[in-house]
Amino acid sequence: MNEIPVGSSARIITYTQNDSFTERLREFGLIPGTIIRLLRKAPFNGPVEIQYRSSRLVLRPDEVAHMRLERIG
Amino acid sequence: MPPTAVNTSTKHTAPNLTVALVGAPNCGKSTIFNALTGLRQKVGNFPGVTVEPKRGDAHIDKTTTHLVDLPGMYSLLPKTPDEALSIAVLHGQHEKLPMPEAVIFVMEGTNLEKSLFLYAQFAALNIPTVVAVTMIDSIKASGGVFDDITMEHALGVPVIGIVGHRGIGLEELREHLALRGFSRPEARQNHIPTDGNIEAQHEWARNLASEVARIPELDSLTTKLDAFFLHPVGGPLIFLAVMLLFFQAIFVYATPMMDAIEAGFGALQSLAEAALPAGIIQDFVSRGVIAGVGAVIVFLPQILILTLFITLLEDFGYLARGAFLVDRIMGVFGLQGRSFIPLLSSFACAIPGIMSARIIASEKDRLTTILIAPLMTCSARLPVYVLLITAFIPSATLGGVVSVQGLILMGLYALGALSGLIAAKILKSTIFQGSKLPFLMELPPYRFPTWSSVLITLFNRTKQFLTSAGTTILALSIILWALGAFPRHTPPVGANSTQIASLQLEHSALGTIGKTLEPIFAPIGFDWKVTIGVLGSFAAREVFVSVMGQVYSVDISESDENLRTVLRSAISLPTALSILVFYVYALQCMSTIAVMKRETGSWKYPAIAFVYTLALAYSASLLVFRLAT
């Protein structure tokens, strides 16, 4: 996520671990293949807000680290 | 007298039904709950060990429906205590709450995929259900169409479109409740994928959502407002401005009201003293009951202003944005963004601060915030600080600019705040350690608060404070009065009223306790007189000033100047510094203790808070006293 600038998009390839947290992400509809867009970052390397389909979600950077992403634009 | 075989039950009503409101967080459940129950709800709702879903009765056409507003959930595989509670109730496995006989399943019209995903899992329970889709006006306003017929066929249950704040659809929902118009989802028959495959459930939900409601990509108003409120530079500045206004509101705007209440009760005391003959009855009515009730009522302005402010911010959608902005900073101390509001309010008073900790969903974060809230310097400490600082610290300036007295005052505020944050870090890495809950937060769309919902919240918060914390505060005030008033001491002939008060206090149970405890407090420089002042502060910290006036027989009704002169000769500078540091830390406020008990549901947390702050206070005072001597 650190490499992705605000406003650009990426595709979720897979999750690097399988626990209740990544299960919750999938329940939110962030299943592999989903395209997400980075909307904004909070100050001091704080949480990020992403958009996917018609939903938005706030995540902490260390939690996004469990997503393997492929930048697409 | 006629025979007593009277059937009091009304014959025409159907048996009472228990109906649960189920839905994802923030889907509009509470609005529907409030609309159906009006002001008839029983208790408030806040997350925690004392999780207690909101309950209330809906009376429609001579029928009664018991409604339970279950905490919002994202799926039937629980990840948080709130979700676990909701799911236990739906399975009929909750200790106290009955299994609902039917469900109102609330879906957010502007985010149907999320709600339908939850429905796909919920359908497996096959509970009689009616679906209420909220915010259908938003779908229509943005050129979309809401197709409830297709949805009814796909879900297998009745579907009603609702616009909560305009009351649209609510009458139809009431009819369904009265006529018991629920159906079972019958998942297999209706091809709803209940088998636990998240991917398949999402696909079903996504397809159905796009079929029944054409929704624009995103709420454009929210996008525009977020560009403003969450601007990389402007966002934090706006946040600071909002917090300043907030602090101003509870600190400054509440003061005239609090002063008026205090003046009112003061007048009431004079009235009682004039009406009743001097003696124990007069003393009880004036200093016990009236002062005790006053001690409760005086908190209301701050609680009302704070609750109003937070409810408006929350309903508007800004609270979540504020939490987003400060989450990282609070994270340094093991806390989260939402801890910010309770801690900030605690600078005015820990009581509204602790009550506002309800906005924190994570139980451990909420308890940590409650436990450190008393270390934020509240306004009741200010009179104590001002008295001692002006009496003992020279009114010199450093380099002709910075006042030493001001510097010390600021240092005391900083000492409290910093200690609190460090305490949070320690608490979060010891007793509140544990598996980290996933931090997933949705920034809700901006909405205009509905006045009825805001007023209901204000009303409930006030009622809870008065009935629960208020009664405890009143009882403790009277006990403290009794300790100072008994046993009665017969004053020597010719003593003036100030001397009588001083002698009564010295010979009272409080005086005896002060003298008994003197050896314990001697190492930190407190004699029995100061000890009484510290004990008397349990009523409210600012009482220290008047108790000091009493024990030193100084009439302080005109000005504190005499008391300052007396204090300078009676106690040493190290003792004064020791008292100051003691007040920074010690939780000597029974109102805070009562509210902590109310908000955590047990005496355990107030006990922990009392002991750890006392230990901190004693060690810090010991250190300061030794260093200064």
Which own/partner contact pairs does B7-10 have at CB distance under 8 Å and 24+ positions apart? Answer: B10/B62
For residue A73, give both structure tokens.
């634009």
Residue B558 has a pLDDT of: 53
Q: For the residues B525-531, what does the mean pLDDT come to? A: 90
List Cβ neighbours of B504 (8 Å cut-off, separation of 6 or more): B484, B485, B488, B489, B491
Q: Count CB atoms within 10 A of the CB of residue A28.
A: 23
Residue B136 is predicted with a pLDDT of 86
Phi and psi for B564 in degrees, rounded to 5?
-60, -45
Q: How confident is the model at residue B9 (pLDDT cuts 50, 70, 90)?
A: very low
B310-322: pLDDT as tens digits: 888 888 889 889 9
pLDDT score recorded for residue B11: 39
Nearest to A42 by CA among B428, B368, B443, B314: B443
Q: Is the pLDDT of residue B437 over 80?
A: no
Q: Which residue has the tokens 């409030």?
A: B34
Out of B75, B236, B439, name the one closest to residue A43 (CB): B236
- Is a pLDDT exceeding 60 seen at residue B4? no
Given a cut of 80, is residue B23 above it in pLDDT?
A: yes
Closest chain B residue to A41 measured between Cα atoms? B232
List the 440-499 stretch of B: residues with Cβ below 8 A of A.
Answer: 440-443
Give B554's pLDDT tier (boundaries 50, 70, 90): low
What pLDDT, on the 0 to 100 scale, is given for residue B405?
86
pLDDT of residue B622: 96
**Are B146 and B213 contacting, i.e. CB atoms less than 8 angstroms apart?**
yes
**What's the confidence (pLDDT) of residue B320?**
86
Which residues in chain A are contacts of B324 at CB distance < 8 A?
42, 46-47, 49, 58
pLDDT of residue B585: 95
Summarize the confidence of residues B78-107 as an average pLDDT.
Answer: 89
Cα–Cα dist B12/B44, whole Å:
32
Classify B624 as helix, strand or coil: helix
With a cut of 90, say whether residue B137 has pLDDT above it: no
Mind listing the pLDDT tens digit for each residue in A22-35? Answer: 888 999 999 999 99
Most A CBs within 10 Å, among B328, B362, B443, to test the A interface: B328
pLDDT above 90 (res B423):
yes
Q: Write the residue in A31, A40, A57 that is nearest to B440 by C-beta.
A: A57
**Least confident stretch, B53-62, B401-410, B468-477:** B468-477
Give SS3 for B51. Answer: coil
* Residues 6+ away with beta carbon under 8 Å from B27: B72, B106, B107, B108, B111, B115, B134
Residue with tokens 């997933």: B440
Question: Per the structure block, which two tokens stand in for B356?
Answer: 């506002």
What pLDDT sits at residue B587? Answer: 92
Select the residue of B77, B232, B438 nearest A21 (Cβ to Cβ). B438
| Residues of chain B with C-beta less than 8 angstroms from the C-beta of A44 | 328-329
Mode of pairing for the β-strands spanning B102-108 and B63-69? unpaired
A27:B113 CB<8 A: no
What chain A holds in terms of domains, given with CATH numbers, is 9-71 (2.30.30.90)
User: Which tokens in the block code for residue B11?
Assistant: 């014959």
B319 in contact with A, Cβ within 8 Å: no
Least confident window among B267-271, B343-347, B469-473? B469-473
What residues are paired with A57 via a beta bridge?
A50
pLDDT(B42) > 60: no
Q: At what angle do helices B561-570 and B382-392 cross, to 10 degrees?
A: 70
- Tell me how far apart the alpha carbons of residues B299 and B319 are, in angstroms, rounded to a whole number: 24
Contacts of A49 in chain B (CB under 8 A): 230, 324, 443
Contact between A63 and B441 using a beta-carbon 8 Å cutoff: no
Backbone angles phi, psi at A48, to 5 degrees: -120, 150
Report chain B residues whose CB lies below 8 A from the CB of A23.
77, 79, 198
Between B382 and B105, whose confidence is greater? Answer: B105
Contacts of A7 in chain B (CB under 8 A): none
Q: Do B113 and A59 touch (CB under 8 A)?
A: no
Contact B272, B290 (CB under 8 A): yes
Check B328 against A21: CB less than 8 A apart: no
Closest CA of chain B from A50, distance in Å: 10
- Among the ranges A64-73, B386-395, B607-616, which has the highest mean pLDDT value? B607-616
> Residue A48's pLDDT band (boundaries 50, 70, 90)?
very high
- Stated pTM of the model: 0.77
> Confidence band (pLDDT; 50, 70, 90) for B52?
low
**Cα→Cα distances B136→A56, B112, B177, Å:** 19, 11, 21
Tens digits of residue pLDDT in B251-282: 678 778 888 988 898 899 889 888 888 778 88
Instruction: Give which of B77, B111, B440, B441 to mutate to test A binding, by max A Cβ within 10 Å.
Output: B440
Q: Is the peptide bond before B487 cis (omega within 30 degrees of 0)?
A: yes
Indicate the pLDDT class of residue B525, thresholds 50, 70 and 90: very high
Q: What is the pLDDT of residues B203-248, one digit of tens each?
A: 999 999 888 887 655 667 888 999 999 999 999 999 989 888 877 7
Q: Name the minimum distance, in Å, from the CA of B442 to any CA of chain A.
A: 5
By Cβ distance, the residue of A20, A21, A44 closest to B329 is A44
**For the residues B96-114, what does the mean pLDDT come to?**
90
- How much is the CA Rg of chain A, to the nearest whole Å? 11
Residues B531 and B516 sit within 8 Å (Cβ to Cβ): no
Query: Once rounded to an integer, what is the mean pLDDT over residues B599-605?
Result: 89
Mean predicted confidence (pLDDT) in B430-436:
75
ipTM: 0.93
Chain A residues with beta carbon closer than 8 angstroms to that of B202: 26, 29, 31
Q: Is the pLDDT of residue B17 over 60?
A: yes
A17: chain B residues, CB-CB within 8 Å: none
Between B507 and B52, the higher pLDDT residue: B507
Closest CA to B571 of B449, B399, B392: B392
Give the distance from residue A64's alpha carbon to the nearest chain B alpha carbon, in angstroms: 11
- What is the separation, in whole angstroms, between the first and last Cα of chain A? 13
Length of chain B: 629
Spatial contact of B339 and B330, defined as CB atoms under 8 Å apart: yes
Q: How far is A9 from chain B (nearest CA, A)?
A: 16
Q: Does B36 touch chain A (CB under 8 A)?
A: no
